[in-house]
């Protein structure tokens, strides 16, 4: 079956994709049933082709990356999520909490390339007050005023607020005023209660995650959004998750990037589950690009997907492969075999070999221009 798009002919062996392709070519929004058809289609190349069509329309040949550093100030966590291999109880072997000086030193260490972003997330520590996080952020801003601070998931914000007896809005305003510039997308997992009860019973529910994101956007913080897939969820749960994010984005336009995260089962209570396959990872990228028509960016996080699959994902709807990272803990505790970090030059090579133009961005997707280890951001 061949349909004439405005640009090239589209071919599929799956009759269910023909009406979806018509909608994609005419810019019509896809619905719940379309999402299910995309997950169920045996013609993965056609699904990827459609997603790539949308990506090219939005971004041409450009693929984004950044030079960033992850900092996880503590792995101590009161929650005991079955999905997680990172969190530890306070006195358990392997638990750690960085003193502020240690966290500031970690920010400065690693690759010598000047980072443009600190990505900061951690466990829900029972004793660390909000003041620790305010001081952490303020100290980073004093030491690295040019570096964007993307910090704390909606789950952490809700926890800080409860401990400090503040509203979500007050907590976000304090962190913003201390120097948080935007927020990462973690903790969203899957919004469906049935699944959340199994994988992360102790976390805020889906509605609270969405409401916290709404307030973050209202106080002027952009954020990302994630979805953890490849565990006990089904296609309906995945489509439901994506459409809830899309509905919130219609209201706030505060999300920058969607990042599908493949579940890594090693060393978690869900260790018996198999790892996701390359085909599912690519399909997830493509379906995300097609359903999230109001999200500017879809990220293939190379740490989670492997650099090889992330590279192919650039032709399945992704326009971003994240950054240098330097030191990744959450996936490596759960058995990831990818390197802990990658050099800027390797990210550039991966992107070029995918046939795309590498574009070094800052967290807000402005162009970064480098001379030696200094950089300037186009504003």
Binding site for ligand V47 (CB under 6 A): 83-86, 153, 184-187, 189, 224, 226, 228, 259, 261, 263-264, 268, 301, 322, 330, 334
Rg (C-alpha) for the chain, rounded Å, is 20
For the bound state, the minimum distance from the C-beta of residue 343 to ligand V47, rounded and expressed in Å, comes to 18
For the bound state, the minimum distance from the C-beta of residue 2 to ligand V47, rounded and expressed in Å, comes to 38
Question: With respect to ligand V47, which residue has the nearer C-beta, 85 or 354?
Answer: 85
Phi, psi of 158 (to 5 degrees): -65, -40
By beta carbon distance, the residue nearest ligand V47 is: 186
For the bound state, the minimum distance from the C-beta of residue 267 to ligand V47, rounded and expressed in Å, comes to 8
Asked whether the beta carbons of 302 and 321 are under 8 A apart, the reply is: yes
For the bound state, the minimum distance from the C-beta of residue 14 to ligand V47, rounded and expressed in Å, comes to 30
- The Cα-based distances of 38 to 237, 289, 311, 331, 344 in angstroms read 14, 11, 21, 28, 34
Phi, psi of 50 (to 5 degrees): -65, -40
For the bound state, the minimum distance from the C-beta of residue 266 to ligand V47, rounded and expressed in Å, comes to 8
Question: With respect to ligand V47, which residue has the nearer C-beta, 14 or 217?
Answer: 217
Among 192, 194, 195, CA closest to 209: 192
For the bound state, the minimum distance from the C-beta of residue 268 to ligand V47, rounded and expressed in Å, comes to 5
Among 258, 245, 240, CA closest to 192: 240
Beta strands in 170-316 (DSSP E): 182-183, 222-229, 255-262, 297-298
For the bound state, the minimum distance from the C-beta of residue 7 to ligand V47, rounded and expressed in Å, comes to 30
Tokens 């951690």 belong to 122
Question: With respect to ligand V47, which residue has the nearer C-beta, 6 or 337?
Answer: 337
For the bound state, the minimum distance from the C-beta of residue 333 to ligand V47, rounded and expressed in Å, comes to 7
Question: With respect to ligand V47, which residue has the nearer C-beta, 12 or 306?
Answer: 306
Let me know how many helices (H) and strands (E) the chain has, helices first.
15, 14
In terms of Cβ atoms closer than 10 Å to its own Cβ (0-12, 13-18, 19+), residue 266 is middle
Question: With respect to ligand V47, which residue has the nearer C-beta, 37 or 300?
Answer: 300
Question: With respect to ligand V47, which residue has the nearer C-beta, 212 or 268?
Answer: 268
Asked whether the beta carbons of 69 and 327 are under 8 A apart, the reply is: yes
**How many C-beta neighbours within 10 Å does residue 275 have?**
14
Question: With respect to ligand V47, which residue has the nearer C-beta, 55 or 70?
Answer: 70
In terms of Cβ atoms closer than 10 Å to its own Cβ (0-12, 13-18, 19+), residue 379 is exposed
Dihedral sign for Cα atoms in the order 19, 25, 26, 29:
positive
Question: With respect to ligand V47, which residue has the nearer C-beta, 34 or 322?
Answer: 322
Question: With respect to ligand V47, which residue has the nearer C-beta, 31 or 269?
Answer: 269
**How many C-beta neighbours within 10 Å does residue 93 have?**
6
For the bound state, the minimum distance from the C-beta of residue 121 to ligand V47, rounded and expressed in Å, comes to 6
């Amino acid at each position: 079956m061949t349909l004439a798009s405005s640009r090239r002919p589209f071919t599929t062996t799956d009759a269910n994709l023909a009406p979806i392709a018509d909608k994609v070519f005419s810019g019509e929004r896809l619905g719940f049933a379309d999402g299910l058809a995309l997950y169920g289609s045996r013609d993965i190349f056609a699904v990827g082709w459609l997603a790539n069509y949308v990506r090219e329309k939005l971004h041409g040949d450009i693929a984004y990356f950044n030079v960033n550093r992850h900092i996880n100030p503590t792995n101590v966590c009161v929650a005991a999520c079955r999905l997680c291999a990172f969190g530890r109880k306070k006195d358990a072997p392997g638990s750690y909490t960085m003193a502020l000086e240690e966290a500031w030193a970690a920010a400065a260490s690693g690759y010598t390339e000047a980072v443009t972003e600190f990505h900061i997330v951690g466990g829900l520590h029972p004793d660390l007050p909000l003041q620790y996080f305010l001081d952490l952020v303020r100290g980073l801003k004093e030491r690295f005023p040019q570096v964007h601070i993307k910090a704390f998931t909606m789950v952490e914000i809700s926890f800080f607020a409860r401990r400090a007896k503040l509203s979500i809005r007050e907590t976000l305003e304090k962190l913003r005023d201390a120097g948080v510039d935007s927020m990462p997308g973690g903790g969203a997992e899957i919004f469906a209660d049935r699944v959340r009860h199994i994988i992360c019973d102790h976390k805020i529910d889906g509605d609270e995650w969405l409401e916290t994101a709404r307030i973050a956007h209202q106080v002027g913080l952009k954020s990302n959004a994630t979805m953890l897939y490849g565990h006990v969820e089904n296609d309906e749960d995945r489509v439901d998750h994506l459409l809830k994010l899309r509905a919130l984005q219609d209201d706030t336009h505060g999300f920058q990037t969607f990042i599908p995260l493949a579940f890594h089962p090693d060393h978690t209570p869900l260790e018996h589950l198999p790892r996701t396959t390359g085909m599912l990872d690519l399909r997830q990228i493509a379906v995300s690009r097609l359903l999230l028509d109001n999200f500017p960016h879809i990220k293939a996080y190379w740490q989670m997907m492997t650099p090889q699959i992330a590279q192919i994902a650039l032709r399945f709807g992704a326009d971003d492969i994240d950054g240098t990272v330097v030191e990744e803990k959450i996936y490596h505790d759960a058995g990831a075999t990818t390197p802990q970090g990658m050099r800027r030059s390797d990210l550039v090579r991966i992107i070029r070999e995918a046939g795309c133009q590498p574009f070094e961005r800052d967290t807000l997707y402005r162009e970064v221009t480098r001379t030696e280890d200094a950089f300037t951001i186009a504003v």
